[in-house]
Amino acid sequence: MYDKRSGPEAAAALGLNVGEPVIYVERLLRFNGEAVVTIRSIWSAIFLQASRLPVSAAESALYSVFENDYGVRMIRAEEHLRAVAADPTSAKLLSVQAGAPLLLVERTAYTYGEKPVEWRRGLYCTNRHYYRNDLG
C-alpha cells in the first residue's frame, strides 16, 4: 500500500479531482498456492492512514478493516466484467502466456450517501476456476 495521486480514471470513478491523494494497493490472491487473481485498488483519501496498516491487515478481508478500523461500511458495489488478453506483467504474475484469456472485473464500491470509496481492477485467471461474487 502506498500514497499516490489520482489519475483521470480513478478521479472520475471516485468523484475526485485529478491529482487528489489516494491509496494505491496491489494484491495477488492465491488459491491452493496458485496465483489466480491480481487486483489493483485505489481508495479515497478517507483511508490515508491505511497505508500504515500492517501487511497482515491488508491480507485480511479489507472491507472488515474499513468498517472496524475506519467506521466506513461498504453498502454496495457495482461491477463490470469483460474478457481481456493477458498483458506481459499480468501473465507473469498469474503464470499464463501473454495473450491468454483473463476476466477483467472493474468494481466501484460505495458507502452511505452513494459515496464511492474504492475503485479496483481485478484480473482473474479462469482456466481452472470460475468467478463467484457475493456482494450482499
- Domain boundary assignment for the chain: 2-124
Share of the chain above pLDDT 70, in %: 86
Task: Answer yes or no: are the C-beta atoms of 50 and 24 closer than 8 Å.
Answer: no
* Model-wide pTM > 0.85: no
Radius of gyration of the chain (CA): 15
10-residue block means of pLDDT along the chain (136 residues)? 79 92 89 93 75 50 77 89 96 96 95 92 89 72
CATH superfamily, domain 2-124, is Chorismate lyase-like (3.40.1410.10)
For residue 24, which of 115, 120, 116 has the smallest C-alpha distance? Answer: 120
